[in-house]
Each structure stands twice: as structure tokens, then as C-alpha cells.
Amino acid sequence: MNDFSKPVPVADSDSAPFWEGCRAHRLMIQRCGSCKTPRFPPMRTCPKCHSTETEWFKASGRGTVYSWIVVQHPVPREVYGQDVPYVVALIDLEEGVRMVSNVIGLDPHAIIGNMPVEVTFEEGQGGVVLPKFKPREA
């Protein structure tokens, strides 16, 4: 054990609905209130039509692995050393947005491109709930 704590996300006014959703085990995604284009991470203006109208909706939680790394030598080692090896991946959600997360529940070396995954929620430090992904049947 050590005295180092892992950094946890801090919600701001744009991302607060996302983190509130995670606490309720709902993967909430922002979309444009005008052209309805989903976007992640949350932001104030639609990159497509520049509208500032915003909506939130519950994503299916299903996606596929776009790309990934298997972390063997984390920095700082004092914080993450006990977790290796672990997967940091880009996940393409069915709704058309891409997010960074961890893929858990499998041998990190067994992960393959386009692997079907689904969201799961993990309690983090300080009451933060993190969305992670686990393998699912295609």
C-alpha cells in the first residue's frame, strides 16, 4: 500500500450531467438541440452547426474497441503500479461518439480491434463513479 491517491475527474458545468448519470449507472451523452448530432466530450457549442442548444440522452452503453494500449509501465508508478497490466482504450459507442476508458474483465492481452463491449460502472475514490467497458456478446 502507499499514500498516493489516484486523481479523479472533477465535473464542470458542461460535464456535470455526464457524471451525475454515471452515479445513477446511466451513460449520458450530450447532443445538439438543433441538429441532434451527439458529441463527446461535452461542450457548449455544436461543432457541426454552431448551435448552443444542448440536450442529454441515455446511450445504449454498447460499443466497440477502436484502439487500445496495454499499460505495463505506468506513470506515476507509485499510483498505478499495483494495477498493471491494464487496458486504456478508445471506445466507439453505437451513438457515434468515441470515448477513452478502460476495458476490464478480460486478460488485457486478449483484447482485439472491433471487440464488442458494453459499459459497466465502477466506484472510484471520493464517490466518483467511472464508466468502464467489459466484453459483450456480439
Nearer residue to Zn ion within complex by CB, 59 or 89: 59
* CB of 37 vs Zn ion, minimal distance in Å: 5
Our finding on whether 35 is near Zn ion (CB under 5 A) is yes
Nearer residue to Zn ion within complex by CB, 15 or 37: 37
* CB of 36 vs Zn ion, minimal distance in Å: 7
* CB of 97 vs Zn ion, minimal distance in Å: 14
Window contacting Zn ion (CB under 5 A); options: 21-29, 39-47, 77-85, 127-135:
39-47
Q: What are phi and psi of 46, to 5 degrees?
A: -70, 125
Nearer residue to Zn ion within complex by CB, 53 or 94: 53
Place of cell 494500449: 69
Contact 49, 34 (CB under 8 A): yes
Beta-carbon contacts of 98 under 8 Å, excluding residues fewer than 6 positions away, are 40, 66, 90, 91, 92
3-class secondary structure, 18: helix
Beta-carbon contacts of 94 under 8 Å, excluding residues fewer than 6 positions away, are 59, 60, 62, 63
Residues that bind Zn ion (CB under 5 A): 32, 34-35, 37, 46, 48-49, 51
